[in-house]
Chains A and B, each alone.
Chain A
Amino acid sequence: MKPKYILTTALLFLFFFYYLPAKTTAAANIQKKTKTRLKVYYEKLANSDKKISIILFQGTGKKMKGIENAELVLTTFDLDNERQLTTIYTDANGNAMLIIEAKYLFPKDERGYSVVKVMYSGNDSLKAAQKKVKFMDLNVDVSFEIVDSIKLITVSTFEIDSIGNPKPIEGVKLNIGVERLFSTLYLSKIETNKKGIGTMEFPEDIAGDSIGTINVIVKIDDNDDYGTITKAKKINWGTIVDYSNVSENRSLFGDEAPLWMIISVFVVLAGAWYHFILAIYKVLKIKKIEPKILNEPL
């Protein structure tokens, strides 16, 4: 076969099996929009503010990628009427967050649930998505008491009914811990009784600050009905730890040098100077014992 036929065949091969399918796929890709997903979480913060956290992303697993600067519309439902709450935008990682002040009360349905719907309208390449989060408003109270020199933390959980009376909630699982520098140190898990009350004995050996203050954290984690709720309250039940002295002694800016340092410097300098003076004394003695009659010159 002549070379020109071989070359022509090769070019045709490339055209049919590589270039054309690639073009077709690219054209198909332009028309096909990528599916997007939303994750929405509800959380009641320690100061009773409510937080709605949202993640907008495409792909799953390792291919999951947040969608940046996307407009999200949040609505709530008052009976059958949908009411817009606000519009927020995602950050570079596809995350968005809305903090709602404690005084704002979400409308509830007949079972006491509140609903927030998050909607993403999509664009030329991304599909629209929406997600609802449903939650009930639970109140958590923390109180401290000492009974027979035993320190007790009492937590009560209740809902407020339609006429404003508290209704105890039984069987709520609570994590109780104390705030540390970087995270919470959890001490115990308890469950509320029929009266909506859970109690735990506070240990004696938890380190507090310079006056023993500790911040007790009570947390309900991702409850199906109530979402995540955090409550914090301070009490001076911790052991007193004064860090100021520790850093002061080791610092260069302290008022006084530590004793070991003063002694070390003194010993080293005294030892060196003693030997130095001894050497000088020996050399000066050379002059004293200079012979009267000269030796043979050096």
Chain B
Amino acid sequence: MDSHLKAKELLEENKTFIEKPNKQWFLKVFILAVLICIGLYALVLQITKGHLITGMRDNVVWGVYIVNFVFILGLSYAGALIAGIFHLARVEWAKPLQRILKLITVFALIVGPVYILLCLGRPERLLNLFLYPRIQSPITWDLIAIMTDLIFCIVYLYFTYIKDFALLRDNSANLNLYGWRKKLYKFLALGYQNTPEQKKLLNRALDIMAAIIIPTSIIAYSLLAWLFGMNLKVGWHSAMTAPFFVLSAVYSGIALLIIIMWIYRKTQRLEKVFTDNHFLYLGFSLVILSLFYGYFYFSQYITDWYNIQETTNRLLSKYMDFSQYGIHFSVAIFMVAFLPSIIIGVPWFRSINSIAITSVFVLAGLWVMRYLMIVPVLETPYLPMQDFRESWVHYSATWIEWSLTIAGIAICVLFFVVASKLAPIIPISEMLEKKGENKFVIFYKTRRKLSKG
């Protein structure tokens, strides 16, 4: 079967995603919109009444918002990093995952930074960061990194859509689409007709973008990690912060990818696209990453444990004290460092559903670990807090913060729902490329074979 027919067949199989939305689709959008509206109401309250209605106070100045910021940006950078590596390494089995990864990257990168703005008591002063940037400040590094990464990732995502836009343009007559969408596909396809020259140009552009996205993601997330690591607070000031952040990001990214694959497989019947092998490969990646996570965390913990400084002792004792953060810590560390090895590592427990459920636990555990990295540290300053009210010393998130957290997740899901309607969630054109058709040239323009001397 030639690629033209295969493309038509794949498009036919997935046309229900992209054709005119049905009632079920609108219901999904409505529910998500309601959640977003609740979040917007909470935001209005926060802006009008100030941070007093959140759990954040003078000492614990960061809470759930910053946890979300770090966590969601981690998902974004992980998406970019994994997609870039899969693309450059020409991993055949990973082709159906590419679009999901890139969508995670862009949506998370749009939603994540909003949470840092929610932490600001005087958001109008944000403008000063652009007007008077200080190159030696990690906040400036982070700003540059996020902006650069966002632009790169949006453009990279668009590049990967060009072939599918051309496919939709050429087959729009067979699809039940609105007229404006047909015009949009024509415009976005950039006149791409799969000629050898066009194909070569597009593939080269995709290779370049993948190659710059990988270091950009690592640098950007490391810069975010240094925002904490360069702070002298106990629990943050560590050389391991950046590598640990990158590892956690990749770990959470893989877990989210499995969850999204599972949802699409269950709800859209994409068993042929997201096969058992995808779950097994990614499941084993989860096991390996969980072991690395455990190793990194243990290294960090044991180093701190031998630190005789009193503040370090106070912080570590909070993680072990069941009246404070002991339960959170024990459950979260079990979920992220041990659970994948038990559920996925032992054949008796291993199944598609168990891998997906483990991923949900891993994702939740990693969020809690982020919380434990931020809140208890802020509650444990070098000089003990004295003569403060209990609510000022111990952080507890209010419904405002939880509403905005849920709203952020709802926005991400809404983006996914809309994007799935705009173009197929699987990169059809990319999947049809034959193995070895699009070779990646390392050491571009090497003129002679090195073995010939």
Contact = CB atoms under 8 A, between A and B. Distances in A.
Given A257-B136, A275-B211, A285 B193 contact: no
A290 B193 contact: yes
B155 A276 contact: yes
Contacts of B277: none
A284 B155 CA distance: 12
B124 to A, nearest CB: 23
Nearest to B171: A297
B166 interface: yes
B219 A268 contact: yes
A286 B195 CA distance: 9
A276 to B, nearest CB: 6
Interface stretch (B197-205, B306-314, B320-328): B197-205
Nearest to A268: B219
A291 B195 CA distance: 8
Contacts of B166: 298
Contacts of B135: 257, 261-262, 265
A290 B202 CA distance: 13
Interface in B5-24: 7
A275 B7 CA distance: 31
B152 interface: yes
B195 A297 contact: no
Contacts of A289: 195, 197-198, 201
Interface in A156-177: none
Interface residues of B, number: 41
A246 interface: no
Contacts of A252: 134, 136-138
B212 interface: yes
A85 interface: no
Given A257-B134, A262-B135, A268-B219, A295 B159 contact: no
Contacts of B194: 295, 298
A20 to B, nearest CB: 45
Interface in B103-155: 134-138, 141, 144, 148, 151-152, 155
A278 B170 CA distance: 28
Given A286-B198, A298-B166, A279 B208 contact: yes
Given A279-B209, A286-B202, A298-B163, A254 B191 contact: no
Interface in A251-298: 252, 254, 257-258, 261-262, 265, 268-269, 272-273, 275-276, 278-280, 282-287, 289-291, 294-298
Given A254-B136, A276-B152, A298-B429, A287 B208 contact: no
Nearest to A278: B208
Contact of A298 (B4, B205, B219): B4
A29 B208 CA distance: 88
B162 interface: yes
Nearest to B199: A286
A60 B204 CA distance: 83
A276 B212 contact: yes
A291 B152 contact: no
B192 interface: yes
B208 A282 contact: yes
Interface string A24-58: 00000000000000000000000000000000000
Given A252-B137, A272-B216, A286-B191, 16 more contacts: A252-B138, A261-B136, A262-B135, A272-B152, A272-B215, A276-B208, A278-B208, A279-B159, A279-B208, A282-B204, A283-B190, A287-B190, A297-B4, A297-B170, A298-B166, A298-B429
24 contacts: A262-B135, A265-B141, A268-B219, A269-B144, A272-B215, A272-B216, A276-B151, A276-B208, A278-B208, A279-B204, A279-B205, A279-B206, A280-B205, A282-B202, A282-B204, A283-B201, A283-B205, A289-B195, A290-B190, A290-B191, A297-B171, A298-B4, A298-B7, A298-B429
